[in-house]
Amino acid sequence: MNITIHTDGGSRGNPGPAATGYVIDIPRQERIAHGEYIGETTNNIAEYTAILQSLTRLEQELDDPSQAVIELKLDSELAQKQLTGVYKIKNAGLKPIAQQILNKVELFDSVTFTHVKRAFNKDADAQVNIALDSLS
């Protein structure tokens, strides 16, 4: 089963109030969209947390995650390159989240991390902004 996930994370200030957002499209199911305030942190922590949250949610939604072929689309080129091994993860705060993501990836048939321009990630970005706007 081919599944597409769009993720985004952001903070207002870096660090600052931060949120995650994701949209999961599973064939023949209603789209799952979620945004969540995660406290004060950096943009990169928010990006990674969104990826982890989306994979955790997908695992809960599927009867057999090992049959899922996932394309994870994110607008953070840094996260995409780090999670695919092109760049090393040097930030100590990102390493444990990255390890959790890579552990989740093992549960699925395959996971591809694809960098997309921000314009093609509007629904996940909207989830981030809804969560941050709800603070005021």
**pLDDT tens figures, 53-106:** 999 999 999 999 999 999 999 999 999 999 999 999 999 999 999 999 999 999
Is domain 2-133 annotated with CATH 3.30.420.10? yes
For residue 136, pLDDT over 80 is answered with no
Structure tokens at 23: 């949209």
pLDDT at 89: 96
HSE-up of residue 123 (Cα within 13 Å, Cβ side): 12
Q: What is the pLDDT of residues 41-54, one digit of tens each?
A: 999 999 999 999 99
Share of the chain above pLDDT 90, in %: 98
Identify the burial level of 57 via C-beta atoms within 10 angstroms of its C-beta, where 0-12 means exposed, 13-18 middle and 19 or more buried.
middle
Structure tokens at 60: 């809960």
| CB-based contact 76:44 (threshold 8 Å) | yes
pTM above 0.85?
yes
Confidence category of residue 135, pLDDT binned at 50, 70, 90: confident
Greatest pairwise CA separation for the chain in angstroms: 42
Confidence category of residue 26, pLDDT binned at 50, 70, 90: very high
pLDDT at 112: 98
Amino acid identity of residue 9, one-letter, is: G
